[in-house]
């Protein structure tokens, strides 16, 4: 692992950065990209001026506007964002063919075999940042480390416009002092459990035996055992296989009952089928529906039953008004084709 050199490159507040680039008057004001509060939208991303008010990604727009009444809200323009993303991805491939995109605005790059810049991860990171800014007007934060886990941590370290390098000889001390909240998968609930054990940093977590971690946290306990020691054997995979495709809608007014949910279902399925056709994905194996009720509780149901049957079962788990519906499919190779019916055709 120590011979690997992995970069994690992450655009800073990407959607907002594109908006600020194209409209310089937005650079000095709190800005967010997301859905309107009238349609109960959420914030996709925001600039750092907005974050100073407590605005965050995935926050309901209505709450963001309460925190920052002067927030400028822009509807997302994904075609424009995708065009910028393609430019940045092409830049990454100029450095190495081993690029694993994670989303429109971030990717892993395996630079282990790159000999340019005398093989220096620091110089490669500096070049990527300078070229990205010059060509697209977008700032990158870059992390470099011997594995994907630490490269991701490093890219977040000095945001925005950061460059953090963790060489192999510095890994041990860096990971030991790392807060457990920096470990992927450690959310508020897990962090609270660890804190009750007196564990806030990775060096403290290392005192728990593997068996004790697995007993307390299940399979994730094994992952915690590895991460707190800086271990991550995942390779950069240039050809990532997408495992699912989905669409969802948050409704301006709650859907009051099952009948209204069923009435909204065909339009969602049409959107899903259009997305599958547009991107040429392999045929589905399992369908799933996602229901968020008016109390914000969420349920997801997966199966091979028709869409309407899945919706009936999923809605029955809460049996109350619904604010969001989603439908999706798990993908499988072409050799295992099977048509998913929209509605049960009966005997």
Q: If you search the block for the tokens 């299940």, which residue do you land on?
A: 218
Instruction: Give the CA radius of gyration of the chain.
Output: 23
- Bridge partners (DSSP) listed for residue 201: 179
158 is annotated as contributing to ligand binding? no
Cα gap 80→294, rounded to integer Å: 33
Cis check for the bond before 117: say yes or no (omega within 30 of 0).
Answer: no
Q: Can 106 be counted among the known catalytic residues?
A: yes
Contact 11, 106 (CB under 8 A): yes
Selecting among 38, 106, 235, 273, the annotated active-site residue is 106
What whole-number distance in Å separates Cα of residue 152 and Cα of residue 182?
A: 10
Please check if 10 is assigned to a binding site: yes
Give me 173's structure tokens. 């001390």
Token pair for 239: 């050809």
* Cβ atoms 130, 93 nearer than 8 A: no
CB atoms within 10 A of CB 2: 10
Annotated binding-site residue numbers for Mg(2+): 10, 105
Catalytic residues: 106
Question: Which residues fall in the annotated binding site?
Answer: 10, 105
């Amino acid at each position: 692992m120590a011979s690997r050199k992995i970069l994690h490159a992450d655009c800073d507040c990407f959607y907002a950065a594109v908006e600020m680039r194209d409209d310089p008057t937005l650079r000095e004001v709190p800005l967010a990209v997301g859905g309107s509060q009238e349609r109960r939208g959420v914030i996709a991303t925001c600039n750092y001026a907005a974050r100073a008010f407590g605005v965050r990604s995935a926050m309901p727009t209505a709450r963001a506007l309460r925190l920052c009444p002067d927030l400028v809200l822009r509807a997302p323009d994904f075609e424009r964002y995708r065009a910028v993303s393609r430019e940045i991805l092409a830049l990454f491939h100029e450095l190495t063919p081993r690029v694993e995109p994670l989303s429109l605005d971030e990717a892993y790059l395996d630079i282990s075999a790159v000999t340019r810049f005398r093989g220096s991860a620091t110089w490669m990171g500096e070049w990527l940042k300078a070229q990205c800014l010059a060509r697209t007007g977008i700032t990158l934060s870059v992390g470099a480390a011997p594995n994907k886990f630490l490269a991701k941590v490093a890219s977040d370290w000095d945001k925005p416009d950061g460059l953090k390098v963790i060489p192999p000889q510095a890994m041990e001390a860096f990971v030991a002092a790392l807060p457990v909240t920096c470990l992927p998968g450690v959310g508020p609930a897990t962090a609270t459990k660890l804190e009750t054990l007196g564990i806030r940093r990775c060096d403290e977590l290392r005192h728990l035996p593997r068996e004790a971690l697995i007993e307390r946290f299940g399979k994730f306990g094994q992952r915690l055992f590895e991460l707190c020691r800086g271990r991550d054997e995942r390779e950069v995979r240039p050809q990532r296989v997408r495992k699912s495709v989905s669409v969802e809608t948050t409704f301006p007014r709650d859907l009051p009952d099952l009948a209204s949910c069923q009435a909204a279902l065909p339009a969602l399925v049409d959107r899903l089928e259009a997305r599958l056709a547009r991107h040429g994905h392999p045929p589905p194996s399992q369908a799933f529906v996602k229901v968020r009720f008016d109390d914000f509780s969420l349920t997801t149901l997966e199966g091979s039953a028709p869409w309407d049957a899945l919706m009936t079962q999923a809605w029955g788990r809460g049996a109350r008004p619904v604010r969001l519906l989603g439908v999706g499919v798990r993908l499988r190779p072409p050799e295992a084709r099977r048509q998913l019916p929209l509605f049960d055709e009966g005997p």
